[in-house]
Structure 1
Amino acid sequence: MESIASALLSFAYQLFQPGFWPGDWAWATSMAGALIGLFPVGTAVAVALMRKFTGNRYHGGALAALAVLGVVGVLLIPWFLATGVASVFRANFRGDSAGLSGAEVAALQQDYGVGPQDEYLGGGQNVYETLFYPSDGVFSYGLDLIGLVGLPVLILLAVMLMGRIALRRGPKWPGRLLWVPFVVFVFVCAGVEANTAVHLWLGFLPVTVLGVIPVAIVGPPSWSTIENSDRRPDSTPAKQEPPQQPVHVQTREPETPPPPPPPAKQYAPTSVAPAPEPPAELAAVPGPVPTPPGSSQQGSNRFRRVRRLGHGGFGTVWQAVDTQLGRTVALKIAHAPDTDTEERMQREARALAALSHPNCVRVYDLVEEPDGLALVMEYLEGQPLAEIVDNGGPLDDVAAGRLWATMASALAAAHSKGVLHRDIKPSNIIVDPQGVAHLIDFGIARSRGDSKLTATGMMVGTPDYVAPEAAAGAPASPASDAWQLAATVSYALTGQPPRGTRETPMAALMAAARAEAPTHLPRQSVHGRLLAASLDPQPRNRPTLNVVYREVEGWLSRAGTSPDGPVTKLVPRQQ
């Protein structure tokens, strides 16, 4: 041990040996401390590099490797070298060169105002004796406390910071495998001479503080790596209910059992795979669509319209009463649909009918009304999020977190069925009287142009909340929905779209197509960093909706609440 430590000291002495108080060997000891400090820094860098490939997979070999790195790089090697340095100085004080050259031994005997350096570094009290059996005055004891307690505490904070940076985008508990070994290292160095320990800590501190830089340069693992590491077989977001086989399909045609539904469409983990129109096989998904176009229900008076809820380029939305079943529904009627529109609506109705999620609007039926093809959907009593924010002001972090988590869960469930929303915005989220948010208007923005400019120069969707790639003409994807949801959450926290408002829709569309950076993100919100990542102009850099759900749910849990609580309290609207 002494031979390795003496070689380390000789090398440090060659690198740094200023000839002033308290002596060249004292400062060489600080340089040795800086060299020892490289091992914890290298350990943190190694952890960050390992996570680039393993993500958050903290079990089995990955956890064992992390533990070995922490124990060896932060405890054993630094302890071995620090105690070796103290042993070399102690041996020189007793008259043994301990592997140093004659010139180095002679330099150790020089006095720079604190006595011979071999006595200063190797002949005094150790750390334990200095702290618990002080022999000097109060002022000297205060300096000892600063050097022997204050410096290690600062180094501990730097090691903890390196651990947090190395473990970004994941749970923080594995950081204990880095800083706990350092705490043990500090305690086991209690037998090192106090003056030697102070100089070792003086060199150790700046290296660990600067070590934050290379750890940050390595960067966190990609969101796709995290998604792959967190994924389990048949895993779904916490709030997603497992799809159920509709029982009524079998009772309608008992003589011919329906074929099993095709597997749910999966997107690439980076959520950038183009999502074309739902494939034709979705039309075969069993779903509660008992009266398709062409049946005897065409042109019937089954649905009595109460009031118009909305009107747009796609069609009109009505509040209506189903006279056969005696329930209130929302009737979304497409104006003058062509054959392609009818086929798309049938595929979409069947896919949405197979979707079961407490925060997604439900599809009951697909019928043909006298003025167009109509989706019969669940009617939700409540107010749009846009109206709530306009009238009551922005939401707080807890309410916005609940909104984000529930909507991310709902969208992930829709994506698993091959359904994209494409027009997520504050007016398409309804908050019911209990304060629970619901995602509505699936498919209202669907068209052959798929969120592109049409021949008439109008865009399907809302420019203030459209993702950059969709505004530039690329096909919509799950990442596009994730961007729109993040933009909606940002609006809920600030009262403004993330890119601000423009004078005309075309100006807003051009700003989106140029991928202008968001300028109205919440500054004080705990969700700021995740919002910035979710609004990245490159789809591959955005966290997936499953990752967003876990991140927000984790924060809500640490805040002592859950995603299931109300977004806000509402008074039921008077009819």
Structure 2
Amino acid sequence: MGGLASSLLSLAHTLFGPGICPGDWVWATSTAGALIALFPVLGSVVIAIIRKGTGNRYDMTTLSIFGGIGLVAALVFPWLLSLGVSETYRAAFSGGASGLSGAEMSTLDKDFCSWVGVQKEYLGGGQNVYETLFYPTGQGLSYGLYLVLLLGLPAASLLFVMLQARTAFRRGPKWPSRFIWIPFVAMFLFSAGVEANTAVHLWLGFLPFSVLGIIPVALVGPPPWSVINRPERPRPEPEPYRPPPSQVAQTPPPPPPPPLKNYNPTSVAPAAEPAPLLAAAPGPIPAPPGSRNAGGGRYRRIKQLGAGGFGTVWQAHDTQLNRTVALKIAHAPDRDTEERMQREARALAAVSHPNCVRVYDLVEENDGLALVMEYLEGRPLAAIVDGHGPLDDIAAGRLWATMAGALAAAHAKGVLHRDIKPSNIILDPGGLAHLIDFGIARSKGDSKLTATGMMIGTPDFVAPETAMGSQASPASDAWQLAATISYALSGQPPRGTRETPMAALMAAARSEPMSCLPARSAHSRLLIASLDADPRRRPTLTAVRREVEGWLSRVGKSADGPVTQFVPRQTR
């Protein structure tokens, strides 16, 4: 390594070694420090390139590779080269074999400045870093200046090496950046044997190039969302234990089961279909069409909450369980309406999440089929933004993280919402958000209800692929949620408003650019990624939730706090 260090010094002297104060070799030492600073930069660039293909998959192989790169790039080469440069100057001062040419050695004897003196003595004849800091002699630079230079310069360099590492690990957890900066800290500690004046000028060259080193790492760019969202390869299942043949031969076969008493093959019932998952709330299970529970006056209506082409929603009182519920009543239901309500009941019963409205029952009322749901006292997000103005970044971040978790829970049960919009998010008096109206939700395999040719969703908040007639997916739900968050931050749909629903639908199908995104929001970059026209490039809801919760944590806010608080209207 001594020969490599002397070659590095010769190269540095050739690149930049002006014959001015403090001396050509003093300048060359700083140039050598700049060249040494390229090794951590190179390590971060290589890691960023590898992550283009691996994303956030940190298995034993990738961790070993990243750890090896950090060890070599931030510890081994910088430490050995720094030590080798110092040994080269010490050998030149003592008259030993330094590895420098005769012409180079002759210039080391020159005296350029009064505070430097002869260069080979200044660079190779003093105390090392450890001795200078703990056993100062009063020679050379003042002790206070040594403290600033020998501790402040490495500390500033460490900050920018950490920024290089974090840039290499963008769009993922930050803890793997330790593979770079922890070896760098070790390199600084191990360099205590370097001659103090040599170390000062090495760090003077190292620092500016560690600052500039962030640029090439940033130019590599983060891994694409399609790689980050790629599911991990399943681990192969271990093969079951198989006893050796000798043991199998010695093991007696199991005795036959005893005969069943009164066995009659014709009395065996056919296999039943698996029952749907049920909601966590109490109440009768959603029954299939044709076997509905009769309401029987159990639900006493209090006031109408809303009405539309589909039916009416009432606030009601459950007289048997003494609780307030919401009745969603479909007027004059036909077969398709019955199936739609049954589908909504199944979807909500399958999802158990505190921010999804819960279903209790499906009953026959006097004026139509009724879905009995949890009653949420509050106001829609659309009314909040309309009446009080857009949300700030903290409130919008909490809303995004909460709704992403609710939708991810629905997707885990195979349920798509397909109509996420500001009016389908209710904020209760405590400021907590709830996702409602799974009326057009569809479970996997429920395809016969999509052959009607109807457009599903609200045009201003429909994903481009859905507007073009493609099948809805978790990515389209994620797009609609991002569009809703953009509305909460700006007060307008991301594509702006159109005169007619058909014009809005055509704008969605053509993937027209987003003209009304919030300009100064901290969530702008994540919104742009989540509203990408290509579903494959969008971050998943899990990735969005992780990013937003990480941002909230960095600004000192919790993700589970209220979105907003308001005083509910007094009922008369």
TM-score, normalised with respect to structure 2: 0.78
Segments of structure 2 that go 5 or more residues without pairing to the other structure are 236-267, 279-283
Cα distance in 1, alignment partners of residues 427 and 130 from structure 2: 63
Offset of 1:82 from its aligned partner? 0.5
Aligned to 2:91: 91
Choose which of 146, 157, 160 in structure 2 pairs with 1:158: 160
Cα-to-partner distance string for 1:290-348 (whole Å, 9 max, x where unaligned)? 362475849x7665554433334444433345567665433334466664454344334
Name which of structure 1's ranges 549-558 and 435-444 shifts more when overlaid on structure 2.
549-558
Pair 292,453 (structure 1): closer, same or farther in 2 beyond 3 Å:
closer
* Preserved CA contact (<8 Å) 1:13 1:25: yes
Using the TM superposition, give the Cα deviation of residue 162 of structure 1 relative to its aligned residue in structure 2, in angstroms. 0.8
Letter in 2 for 1:199: H
Counterpart of 1:247 in structure 2 is none
Correspondence list, 1:536-575, <5 A:
536-556=532-552, 562-575=558-571
Cα pair 2:490 2:516 within 8 Å, conserved: no
Query: CA separation in 2, counterparts of 1:203 and 1:340?
Result: 75
**Maintained 8 Å contact 1:6/1:99:** yes
2: CA distance between counterparts of 1:548 and 1:425?
18
CA offsets, 1:81-134, max 9 Å, x none? 111011111111222342222232233334444544323322344444555636
Please give the alpha-carbon distance, in whole angstroms, between the structure 1 residues aligned to 2:441 and 2:315.
19
**Map of 1:8 onto structure 2:** 8
SS in 1 for 2:7: helix
Matched, 1:402 2:398: yes
User: Which residue of the other structure, out of 290, 293, 297, is the alignment partner of 2:287?
Assistant: 290
Alignment partner, residue 138 of structure 2: 135
Secondary structure, counterpart of 1:309 in structure 2 = strand
Bigger shift: residues 375-384 or 551-560: 551-560
Q: Does the 8 Å contact 1:97/1:105 carry over to 2?
A: no
Q: Mean alpha-carbon deviation: is it higher for 219-228 or for 384-393?
A: 219-228
CA distance in 2, matches of 1:367, 1:231: 45
Residue 184 (1) aligns with residue 180 (2): no
Distance in 2, matches of 1:451 and 1:88, equals 78
Question: In structure 2, do the counterparts of structure 1 residues 506 and 151 end up closer, same or farther at CA, with 3 Å as the change threshold?
Answer: farther
Q: Specify the alignment match of 1:241 in structure 2.
A: none
Shift in alpha-carbon separation, 1:369–1:232, aligned structure 2, 3 A? farther
For the residues of structure 1 that align with 2:456 and 2:231, how far apart are their CA atoms?
36
**Where does residue 100 of structure 1 map in the other structure?**
100
Amino acid at match of 2:154: P
Encode CA deviations 1:33-85: one digit per residue, 9 max, x unaligned. 22221211122223334444554455645444443333332122211111101
Report the AA paired with residue 286 of structure 2.
V
Deviations 1:188-231 (A, max 9, x none): 32332333223322332233222212322333334455456789
| Segment of structure 1 superposing worse, 308-317 or 88-97 | 308-317
Distance 1:452 1:536 in 2: 27
User: Could you tell me whether the CA contact under 8 Å between 2:378 and 2:568 is conserved in 1?
Assistant: yes
**For residue 511 of structure 2, what is the amino acid of its counterpart?**
R
The counterpart of 1:174, out of the listed 173, 176, 183, is: 176
- Counterpart check, 1:310 vs 2:306: yes
Q: Quote the residue 1:43 is aligned against.
A: 43
Q: Say whether the 8 Å CA contact 2:52–2:223 is kept in structure 1.
A: yes
2:218 equivalent in structure 1: 216
Match of 1:517 in 2: 514
* Cα deviation code 1:232-276 (max 9, x no counterpart): 99xxxxxxxxxxxxxxxxxxxx98885445899xxxxxxxxxxxx
In 2, the alpha carbon distance for the partners of 1:103 and 1:226 equals 56
Deviation at 1:423, TM superposition (A): 1.7
Instruction: Go from structure 1 to structure 2 and tell me whether the alpha carbon gap of 1:295 and 1:76 turns closer, same or farther (over 3 Å shift).
Output: closer
Structure index of larger Rg: 2
State the partner residue of 1:420: 416
Identity %: 66
TM-score (norm 1): 0.78
1:183 positional shift: 2.5
CA 1:85/1:303 → structure 2, altered by over 3 Å: closer, same or farther?
same
Contact 1:463 1:505 in 2 (8 A): yes
Query: CA–CA distance in 1 between the matches of 2:47 and 2:469?
Result: 40
Determine the C-alpha separation between the residues in 1 that align with 2:201 and 2:416. Answer: 62
Alpha-carbon contact 2:416-2:441 (below 8 Å) kept: no
Q: CA, structure 1 residues 305+81, in 2 after alignment: closer, same or farther (shift >3 Å)?
A: same
Displacement, 1:161? 0.5
Q: State the 1:516 CA deviation.
A: 1.4
- Is the CA contact 1:452–1:470 (under 8 Å) kept in the aligned structure 2? no
Match of 2:474 among 441, 459, 478: 478
Point out the more displaced range, 497-506 or 460-469. Answer: 497-506
For 1:78, the aligned partner's letter is P
Equivalence map 1:260-299=2 (5 Å) = 260=274, 288-290=285-287, 292-293=289-290, 297=294
Provide the rounded CA distance (Å) in 2 between the counterparts of 1:230 and 1:559.
31
Structure-1 separation of matches of 2:18 and 2:109: 16
SS in 2 for 1:184: helix
**Counterparts of 2:474 and 2:366, CA distance in 1:** 35
Aligned with 1:319: secondary structure? strand
Secondary structure of the equivalent of 1:308? strand
Retained in 2: the 8 A contact 1:493–1:522?
no
Question: Displacement of 1:544 after TM fit?
Answer: 1.2
| Structure 1 residue 402: Cα displacement | 3.2
Q: Match for residue 21 of structure 1? A: 21
Aligned residue in 2 for 1:354: 350
Other structure's SS at 2:37 match? helix
Match of 2:76 in 1: 76
Question: AA paired with 1:135?
Answer: G
Secondary structure of 1:422's partner?
A: coil
Quick one: structure 1 residues 66 and 566, their matched pair in 2 at CA, closer, same or farther if it must change by over 3 Å? same
Deviation for aligned residue 1:515: 3.7
